Amino acid sequence: MDFSELLKLSEEKYAAYLLSQDLLYKKIPENQHSKLLNQSIACGKAAARDLTVADLREYCQQQAIEIDYFSENLKAENFRFVLAEFQLPNRIRINQSLLEAAEPFLAELDFLKDQRVDEILLAHELYHYIENQQQLFTTQKQLSYRAGPFKKSARVHSLSEIAAMSFAKELLGLNFSPILLNIVLLFPVAPDYSQELAKRLLLID
């Protein structure tokens, strides 16, 4: 797979893709898209700058955050792979099966040279711990809309993912979007799905 075009995409483009996948996307006024994206990216970067720590695992130990590597039976038809996840109040789970299956492919990618993929996944999930501890912008209800005669407020969950990607990129000094891990980790086990995701990312306006 050629990643050259994907590596050229801006952080805002990747953020726009994540927002477009949100269940509430159609309820968000178009003139609010840019503001929400920028607020989320800024939120993630600010959280990373505030975290003055040299070793993520040492920080997790200090905060009593559990890090669990789990295994699963990988099947190409299963498109709902979990790369990693945060479980309240203090548990981060990382998919060891995907990491092992993708290891030979990862070794061929220049942009991942000298990068520990599990560290990127850990950083991403660590943001979710921090946002909940500090009740950051991404935990709030950012959207108001009408459902018939009723006015509702809701949290746009994709904004949390956007901020987590921004957090990991800033914290680890990455020159690529962590969203690319969704493609590279799935490619060895679900190549068709992985390539389709790459195509959708390149089509974002």
11-38 burial: b if 16+ Cβ within 10 Å, else e: bebbbbbbbeebebeeebeeeeeeebbe
**Which regions of the chain are under pLDDT 50?**
none
Q: pLDDT tens digits, residue range 72-130?
A: 888 766 667 899 999 999 999 999 999 999 999 999 999 998 899 999 999 999 999 99
Instruction: Supply the pTM of this predicted model.
Output: 0.93
Contact 197, 80 (CB under 8 A): no
Q: How far apart are CA 70 and CA 53, in angstroms?
A: 26
Phi and psi, residue 60, nearest 5°:
-60, -40
Model pLDDT, residue 40: 98
Model pLDDT, residue 32: 95
Model pLDDT, residue 81: 82
Quick check: helix, strand or coil at residue 99? Answer: helix
Question: What are the tokens at 77?
Answer: 């038809």
